[in-house]
Amino acid sequence: MFIDRVKIKVQAGNGGDGVTAFRREKFVPRGGPSGGDGGKGGDVWMEADESLNTLLHLRYNPEHRAERGRHGEGSNRHGKDSPDVMIKVPVGTQVFDAESEDLLFDFTESGQRFLAAKGGKGGWGNQHFATPTNRAPKYHYTGRPGEERELQLELKLIADVGLVGFPNAGKSTLISVISAAKPKIADYPFTTLEPNLGVVDLGEYKTFVVADIPGLIEGASEGAGLGDRFLRHVERTKLILHLVDVSSISGRDSNDDYEIINRELANYDANLATRPQIVVATKIDALDEPERLERLREAAEKDGKPFAQISAVTNQGTKELVNFIAQKLDEMKREQTEIEIRETDVV
């Protein structure tokens, strides 16, 4: 089950109390204060783990508590610090304060860590309060409380390429052909109810990651169909692969589908309207009206977007499409590197 949004509660451990104690050793006639300090309460940390791709493990384990530090003891013995608690999350997870909705941290790389709740400091024992005028203090500090907060976690998949389009546009079939992903494929709308990730192997240790975003419909940015629940997963993709069914099986107009999806992307996030996009005509093996293909090609060219045509079922054009995607990603990477170099030179 794919879970991309969950609320959790984290509570760090309280600090241990200091202690009031006095020395009672043999041959030490005057003694003195010897109360040790309390130990520190455990922190609650979060860490990005690339082996995870869902927040499901947190859905059924929403509370995470660290233990308090141990209390101090006599003979100036310090209480033991409590161990920290580590929460693993997928790369792409964003952490929000559930009350203020402020973004606290964004995990974009594996191994990144975020201190979700800080443990309380241990209290001082009475040894700290001895002075020339108060040689036998009979008081100590209690440990400070650990932080406690409620967090909203949202997962945005990180992929090089995002597949978008109307339901049954052929997204799941394509990702199953070009990668090892095995999404559910059927001839009814909304077959895919959760995003799927696939790694495309180009050989020579070169790969890119594709995300199959569940089918969008008109009004998706306002909650229609599967709503904007999965639109957030398009935000992190470098390149959009816009799949449009050019067969007449769907009963819809191909160009209308193309315009509607682009409009929904722009309505959700204006930046998506300028994101590099390749328009892909699908199901050309079932093309019964050639003019549908040509009209879509003209619309894409008018918008200045590269155009491709494929049949994932018969593998027609899929290899060429994969090579074109790889070429486009390489170009984008070079352009980004050049921009970074120019910015460095300016500084």
> What is the band of 32 on the pLDDT scale with cuts at 50, 70, 90?
confident
pLDDT bin (cut points 50, 70, 90) of residue 230 is low
Rg (alpha carbons) of the chain, rounded to whole number: 29
Per-residue pLDDT tens for 77-126? 999 999 999 999 988 899 999 999 999 999 999 999 999 999 999 999 99
pLDDT of 41-69, one tens digit each? 999 999 999 888 788 889 889 999 999 99
- What whole-number distance in Å separates Cα of residue 252 and Cα of residue 37? 74
Category of 124 on φ-ψ map: left (φ > 0), alpha (ψ -120 to 50) or beta:
beta
Q: What is the DSSP letter of 169?
A: S
Span 136-154, pLDDT tens digits: 899 999 999 999 999 999 8
pLDDT of the residue at 181:
64
Q: How many CA atoms lie within 13 A of 282 on its CB side?
A: 26
- What CA–CA distance (Å, rounded) separates 243 from 245? 7
Q: pLDDT band at residue 336, thresholds of 50, 70 and 90?
A: confident
Give the CA distances from residue 313 to residues 87, 131, 177, 241, 252, in Å, rounded to whole numbers and listed in that order. 42, 85, 8, 18, 20
Whole-number pLDDT of residue 191:
42
- Other Cβ atoms closer than 10 A to 74: 17
When pLDDT is averaged across residues 301-329 and rounded to a whole number, the result is: 94
Assess whether pLDDT exceeds 80 at residue 184.
Answer: no
339 SS3 class: helix
pLDDT for position 341: 83
Report yes or no: 210 and 159 within 8 Å, Cβ to Cβ: yes
285 closest CA partner among 306, 261, 310: 310
Q: What is the mean pLDDT of the chain?
A: 86
Tell me the mean pLDDT in the region 234-262: 90
Give the mean model confidence (pLDDT) for residues 258-281: 90
Q: DSSP letter at 74?
A: T
Walk me through the domains of the chain, giving residue ranges and CATH numbers: 1-155 (2.70.210.12), 161-346 (3.40.50.300)
The listed range with the strongest mean pLDDT (6-15, 130-139, 191-200) is 6-15
pLDDT for the residue numbered 185: 45
Report, as an integer, the average pLDDT of 162-182.
85
- pLDDT of res. 107: 94
* Bridge partners, 49 (sequence order): 90
Q: What is the pLDDT of residue 322?
A: 95
Residue 211 pLDDT class (50, 70, 90 cuts): confident
Give, in order, the Cα–Cα distances in Å from 103 to each of 24, 96, 98, 320, 346.
Answer: 54, 4, 10, 41, 31
Q: What is the mean pLDDT of residues 267-274?
A: 86
